[in-house]
Amino acid sequence: MEKLYLGIDVGSVSTNVVIIDGNNNIIDKLYIRTMGNPINALKEGLKHAKVKMSELGSDFMISGVGTTGSGRQLAGFMVGADVIKNEITAHAIAASTFIPNVNTILEIGGQDSKIIILKNNVISDFAMNTVCAAGTGSFLDRQAARLGIPIEEFGAHALNSTTDVRIAGRCAVFAESDMIHKQQLGYSKEDIINGLCEALVRNYLNNLAKGKDIKGPIVFQGGVAANIGIKKAFEKALGLEIYVPTHYDVMGAIGSALLAKQEVIQKQKTKFLGLEMADVDFKVKGFECSHCPNVCEVIGIYKDENLSARWGDKCGRWTNINIPSPTV
C-alpha cells in the first residue's frame, strides 16, 4: 500500500488540489477557478481526485490532507484536514523542498502578493501587500479582458513590444486610466502590455520588496508566474535570473500536502474524512447575532442538512452546535 498525501489551496481566484507521494513526487494536480464559490470548487477538486485515485487502483491510498489559502478553515473542516496552515508558510515549504537553497520567493496570486526571504531554508522575513491589490492576478485578468486578449496569452504579447511605454503602477485605478490614455495616443497593444508588466513589477518592488534583501536563487510562483512578460520584467528590474518551477501554479497546495505528510508521519494517524466528501451536500447558512452591539455575522456549515460547524462569532457563544441557530 503506497501512501499519498492531498494538498488543498483554496484561494480567492483559484482552488488547487494536488496529490503527492511519500517521495514528494507530484502524482496529480488540478487548478480550478474558485468563481466565488469555494465549496463547489473544492467538491469539483475532490471529484477529480477521486477519479484519479480509482485510476491508480487499490494499491494507493490518501493518508493525510492539508489545507491552505484564504479558504483554509472552510476547506479544512470539509475534508478533515490534518494541517491548516497559512499560505506564506505553505509556499515557503514547497519552494524550499523543490529548489534547495532558495533565497527569495516572489509569489503573486489572485488577490495577494507576497515576498518571502529565506535563510538556510527557514523564513527570515516576509511581506504581503497591504491596502492595495494593484499588481495582483485579478488586476491582470481585468486588463486582459478589457483588451480582449486571453489571460494565457497576455504575457507573450509583452515580449513583442518594441517601444517603452511607462504606465503608472502605484494604483490599479491610475494604471487603468494611464493605459487608456496611452492607447488613445496610438501606442500598440504590445507596448502597453509590456508597460503594464513593468509597472506591476515596479510597484511590487517598491512596495512589498522595499528594503528586502533580494538574492538569488529567486523563485517566482503563484498563478501570475505563468505570465512570461512579468517574469521578464522582474529579470530586467533585478538583473537576476528568475526561476519558475514546473508546478508554479499549485505551490501552495504542494506545501500543504508536504506539511500534512510531516504531521501524519509524526502523529501516525489522519483526520481525513475521505474523498466521499465530494458527494456530501454542504450548505452555508448565516445569521446576524443580535446578542450584543457587535452584531457578528455567524456562519453555519450544514453537512447533509445537519448543522456541523459554526464560526464568525467573536465571543464563541455559537461554537457549540447543540445550541440551535435563531430562526430568521
Binding footprint of other proteins on the chain (CB under 8 A):
70, 85-89, 93, 112, 120-126, 128, 130-131, 211, 259, 262, 292-296, 314
Residue 124, class by beta-carbon neighbours within 10 Å (0-12 exposed, 13-18 middle, 19+ buried)? exposed
Q: Return the number of the residue (146 or 210) whose C-beta is nearest other proteins.
A: 210
CB of 127 to other proteins, least distance (A): 8
Three-state secondary structure call for residue 42:
helix
CB of 26 to other proteins, least distance (A): 19
Instruction: Give backbone dihedrals phi and psi of 47, rounded to 5 degrees, phi first.
Output: -60, -45
Task: Give the Cα separation of 83 and 327 in Å (integer).
Answer: 34
Cell of 96: 524550499
Q: Return the number of the residue (177 or 294) whose C-beta is nearest other proteins.
A: 294
Task: Give the Cα separation of 92 and 73 in Å (integer).
Answer: 20
Q: Return the number of the residue (93 or 167) whose C-beta is nearest other proteins.
A: 93
Task: Give the Cα separation of 95 and 258 in Å (integer).
Answer: 11
CB of 118 to other proteins, least distance (A): 10
Sorted by sequence, the CB contacts under 8 Å of residue 4 that are 6+ apart come out as: 19, 20, 21, 22, 27, 60, 61, 62, 63
Helix (H) / strand (E) element for 175: namely: helix 172-185
CB of 91 to other proteins, least distance (A): 10
Task: Give the Cα separation of 209 and 126 in Å (integer).
Answer: 9
CB of 294 to other proteins, least distance (A): 5
Half-sphere CA count of 5, side-chain side, radius 13 A: 30
Q: Return the number of the residue (206 or 294) whose C-beta is nearest other proteins.
A: 294
Task: Give the Cα separation of 295 and 229 in Å (integer).
Answer: 46
CB of 255 to other proteins, least distance (A): 10
Q: Return the number of the residue (159 or 315) whose C-beta is nearest other proteins.
A: 315
CB of 282 to other proteins, least distance (A): 19
Q: Return the number of the residue (125 or 153) whose C-beta is nearest other proteins.
A: 125
Task: Give the Cα separation of 139 and 227 in Å (integer).
Answer: 13
Q: Return the number of the residue (145 or 292) whose C-beta is nearest other proteins.
A: 292
CB of 230 to other proteins, least distance (A): 23
Q: Return the number of the residue (179 or 258) whose C-beta is nearest other proteins.
A: 258
Task: Give the Cα separation of 209 and 127 in Å (integer).
Answer: 7
